[in-house]
Structure 1
């Protein structure tokens, strides 16, 4: 069987995978506590405290919805474990809704992308494409420092920390998100302002947060309007970021369902999987 990355379903599957990885990031948060802001905390201090709490998470489960260029409107849900790195994500793009959701799994040194029944028609009946991530320099198990970008590239708490670089953080009010009472904050920040704000952070934190800016720089985003909902335990329950990219508007909302809970991800059956290297070889021979 000869396979080609020029097959329409193959292109859609790979494209959706990359789009999903761009979407990935977020803060951490889910709690049973009510939002009770300390009178001593200014809005900026409350946001900074929540951002700091995201540094030590070990796993999280979140939901995403919104618009990201060039994919348009998207929605999805993901679970992620930091060490050893593992992730399971399902994402649907509105313009490809008829094809069903795309599923991504990170297991060991491999990323698997499931394109559904439509993709299987052009892949000899197989539903999954396997990407060997060792080609990107992962010599052992994948880690957040070895991958090249997107959701699997970092602790997804990084994006929530962007609001700490804003000079105009304001408290909007108290709101309930998914049954959790939260305090809503809002502000605007340029990527340059955020970079400058990192000078006071320790080296490890600074490097993580600077790295998280890369995907937005590549999209052509210069500034973000951010909303952040913080619960009574100073965790970020939800955040929204809006900006203008080179290819259209960016508007994503991330809602956190739980964190530091067990996350188990398994590889799809080998008999239902096509290796990307084989697809590339088929394209070259074709």
Structure 2
């Protein structure tokens, strides 16, 4: 396979990992037992999460409850979209986060990356499987013809960390500890949560909360807002990886105290980065496994080939 094709596959892997980590990083202390009844689909009706039995519950305390319950659900169906510099990447499927991020997502890569992948033999679409220590990506028959017939590329998280340096180590940790509620924890850490009305998301009435999180917030207020040091460190790491000093966050919470939607926006050197996630069917069964070894090629082999020009 040509060197350029191998290089695009490496870049694509990073893009897929970054899109997937729109699910967030849970850190420690995020698996408290659910509060109250739950129909398992996260689409409660009636009034929003703000309508709690404790009318004096602060937004931060409410979101802490949401974070605990969402994390404890352990799985959900997801739709994830990231946009930056005119490029749009989309993924959908089901994931579990009880033991790191696991599951299967399908989607498409847009922008220049999608165009270059198409030139290398793919059509921009993909299937990605996430296991505890590695991600497997299938870009279709056209790309397989460039890989000696193998359909799946294995990206060991440790290898991605080596490729990307410190930011890769952060990405590795996010993939291995992912759940949907890093955004909720970040809002709690800000200490500046705004209730922004109600909206319908996937047929469910939700309450919207917004806020802006800065590195100073994480340094000065996060522990006081009830987060653990590990959770604070994880949030700081995410900002550092993005090269951003602040994170604008919007979350939509159902009457069942579950996350229905989130949007994050960070200003990066490459432009405004926007990540949107939709979550439903909490507790859905998720089963995934590594592809057949005979149909898999290791990412490090491709990179070694790129260095030698083979």
Among 150, 154, 162, the residue aligned to 2:186 = 162
Match for residue 46 of structure 2? 34
Which stretches in structure 1 are left out of the alignment for 5+ residues?
Answer: 138-144
Identify which range, 228-237 or 216-225, moves more after superposition.
216-225
For 2:278, the equivalent position in structure 1 comes to 255
The answer (yes or no) to whether the contact 2:66–2:259 under 8 Å persists in 1 is yes
Q: 2:239 aligns with which of 202, 213, 216?
A: 216
Separation in structure 1 between the aligned mates of residue 237 and residue 212 of structure 2, nearest angstrom: 18
- Aligned to 2:22, the other structure's residue is in SS state coil
Determine if contact 1:14/1:113 at 8 Å carries over to the other structure: no
- Give 1:201 deviation, angstroms: 6.6
**Aligned partners of 1:206, 1:103: CA distance in 2, in Å?**
35
Cα contact 2:10–2:303 (8 A) shared by 1: no
The CA distance in 2 between the partners of 1:277 and 1:194, in whole Å, is 36
Q: Deviations over 1:56-100 (max 9, x none)?
A: 33223211124146x832211242223444232223222216523
How far the C-alpha of 1:190 sits from its partner, in A, is 1.0
1:25 paired to 2:22: yes
How far apart are the structure 1 equivalents of 2:260 and 2:200? Answer: 10
Aligned pairs for 1:1-286 (under 5 A) are 6-8=3-5, 10-23=6-19, 24-26=21-23, 30-36=42-48, 37-38=51-52, 39-68=55-84, 72-85=87-100, 86-95=102-111, 96=114, 99-107=123-131, 109-133=133-157, 148-200=172-224, 205-283=228-306, 286=310
Q: TM-score, normalised by structure 1?
A: 0.80
Contact 2:181 2:259 in 1 (8 A): no
Shift of 1:254: 0.9
SS at match of 1:263: coil
What is the deviation of 1:256?
A: 0.3
What residue number does 2:164 align with? none
